[in-house]
Amino acid sequence: MHSFAIVGAGILGLATCLKIRERFPDASIVVLEKESDFAAHQSSHNSGVIHSGIYYKPGSQKSRFARAASQSMTAFCQAHDVNHRICGKLIVARDNEELKRLDVSYDNGRRSGLRVEKLSSEEVRGHEPHARVHGGLFVPEAGIVDYKDVCRKLVDRLKNLGVEFRYREEVRALKEERGHLGVFTRENSYKVGMLINCAGLHSDSVALMQGLSAARKQFQVVPFRGDFYTLKASRAHLVKGLIYPVPNPKYPFLGVHLGRLISDKVEVGPNAALNFSREGYDRSIVSRELARTLAFPGFWKMAGNYWKEGVAEIWRSYNKQAFLRAAQRYVPEIQLDDLDTVHAGIRAQTLSRAGRMLDDFEVLTGYRSVHLINAPSPAATCSFEIAGFIVDRVARHRAEH
Ligand SMILES: Cc1cc2nc3c(=O)[nH]c(=O)nc-3n(C[C@H](O)[C@H](O)[C@H](O)COP(=O)(O)OP(=O)(O)OC[C@H]3O[C@@H](n4cnc5c(N)ncnc54)[C@H](O)[C@@H]3O)c2cc1C
C-alpha cells in the first residue's frame, strides 16, 4: 500500500510530489506515468516563459500565484542550477486602439505590484531594434527557461527522496474500497491512501474514472493546438527577447508572439486552434476524442462565442503565410523563408458546460482523491504555487476523513 499515488509526471505532478514529500516526510509515494519518460506532453511543448502575472486581474488567483511564482521558479532554478534568464518581456501595440488596451495591462501590472515601464516606439527599438510598433510596455520580471530541465531536476530530487517512479503505467480505472483507493493500470494494481490526479490533457478522464458527477456534468478538457515556427539561425538576430501582442480581452490565449528561448533559438507562435485529439501533434490524427469534444454542449456554446477567432486560428494552423503576417506585425523584416521548422504543443483547456473556458486553476475532491482539472498557462511558471494549493487540499481532505 502506498500513502500517495500521483498520476502524471508533468511539471505539476512533479512539483506536487515534492510538496507532498515535504509535508508528509514518512509517506510512501509512487508516480504513475503512462509515457516512457517524464514531461512528455505540455511540460516540454510550451513557450518556456516565466510569466510575471501582468495579464491577470489584480487579486485573482492567477495574479497572486504568478506574482509569487516568477520568484519561486527563479529561486528553484538558481538553487538547482537550471539555466534560465530574467530577460523581461515587451508587450507592444500596433496602433492607437492597441495603445489604449495597453493601458489596461499597465494598470493591472501596477495594481498587482509589478514593475512596469511604458515605452515609446523609439524606446521599444532600444530593446528590440527590428521591431516597428506604436509603443509598448516592458515587464522586467518575466524570463525564460526550459521547463523540461526544471522537470529533470525535480525527478532527480524526488528519486533521492525515495519517491518511486513507474513509467508506461497508464491509469485506466479507479475503485473505491474500504480504507484505500484501488488504482488499476493495464498490468498492475495499486492500493493507495490518496490519489492526486495531475494528468493534464487527460485529467478530466481520470476524474471520470471515479465517477465524479460534478466532472461528468460540468467540465471537459478541450485540446487547443499551438504551432511554433523556429526562425532560421541566420535571422535569429531579428529578435532579442520576448515580444508579445496586446492581449485580446475576449480570448484567453496570449496570441502569437516572438520569443528567444533559453537555447537561443527564436520561435514564432503559438496560435491556439482547436485540435482533433489531445495528443495529436501530427495534424492528420483524428481520434474518437473529436467526437467527445463535439458531443459536449459547452463546446458548441464556446464555438458560438469565439467562432471568428477560432476560424482564424485554425486557418493560421494550416497556413504559413498567415503565421508570417502575425510575425510581421511586430518585426516586418521577417520573411517567409525565415520561418524554418515547425512543431506544436497542445494545451489542456477545460470548458464548462455553459461554454466558458475556465480561467482559474481548478481542483475537485473525491473519495481519497484530489483532481487538478484545469491548469492552463501560466501553470508551468506557477507549478510550486499550484502544488502548494493542492497539498493544502490534500491535508484538509485527510483531516476530514
Ligand atoms: C503551446 C503551449 C505554450 C505554453 N506556454 C507556457 C509558458 O510559456 N509558460 C507557462 O507557465 N506555461 C505555459 N504553458 C502551460 C504549461 O505548459 C502547462 O500548464 C503545464 O505544463 C501543465 O503541466 P501538467 O503537469 O499539468 O501537464 P502535462 O505536462 O501534460 O503532464 C501530464 C502528464 O500526465 C500523464 N498522463 C495523462 N493521463 C494519464 C494516465 N491516465 N495515467 C498515467 N499518466 C497519465 C501524461 O502522459 C503527462 O505526462 C503552455 C502550454 C502550451 C501547450
CA of 119 to the centre of ligand 1 (A): 34
Please check whether residue 257 is in contact with residue 243, taking contact to mean a CB–CB distance below 8 angstroms.
yes
Ligand 1, atom 35: closest residue by C-alpha: 8
CA of 374 to the centre of ligand 1 (A): 10
pLDDT of residue 284: 64
3-state DSSP assignment of residue 98: helix
Predicted confidence (pLDDT) per residue in 50-90, tens digit:
999 998 888 889 999 999 998 999 999 999 999 999 999 99
Q: Return the ∠ at Cα 147 (arms to 312 and 11), rounded to 5°.
A: 95
Is residue 215 over pLDDT 60? Answer: no
pLDDT of residue 287: 67
CA of 149 to the centre of ligand 1 (A): 14
Domains and CATH numbers, the chain: 1-48+147-210+367-401 (3.50.50.60)
The position carrying cell 492552463 is 376
pLDDT of residue 285: 61
Above pLDDT 90, what percent of the chain?
Answer: 72
Predicted confidence (pLDDT) per residue in 340-385, tens digit:
988 999 999 999 888 888 888 999 999 999 999 999 999 999 999 9
Task: Please list every protein residue whose CB sits less than 6 Å from any atom of ligand 1.
Answer: 7-13, 32-35, 39-43, 45-49, 51, 170-171, 198-202, 206, 226, 270, 345-347, 375-381
pLDDT of residue 214: 58
Q: CA–CA separation, 207 vs 1, rounded Å?
A: 21
3-state DSSP assignment of residue 357: strand
CA of 11 to the centre of ligand 1 (A): 7
Please check whether residue 348 is in contact with residue 200, taking contact to mean a CB–CB distance below 8 angstroms.
yes
pLDDT of residue 302: 80
Indicate the average pLDDT of the chain. Answer: 91
CA of 234 to the centre of ligand 1 (A): 31
Predicted confidence (pLDDT) per residue in 266-325, tens digit:
999 898 888 878 988 887 666 677 777 887 888 878 877 777 777 777 777 778 888 899
Predicted confidence (pLDDT) per residue in 109-127, tens digit:
999 999 999 999 999 999 9
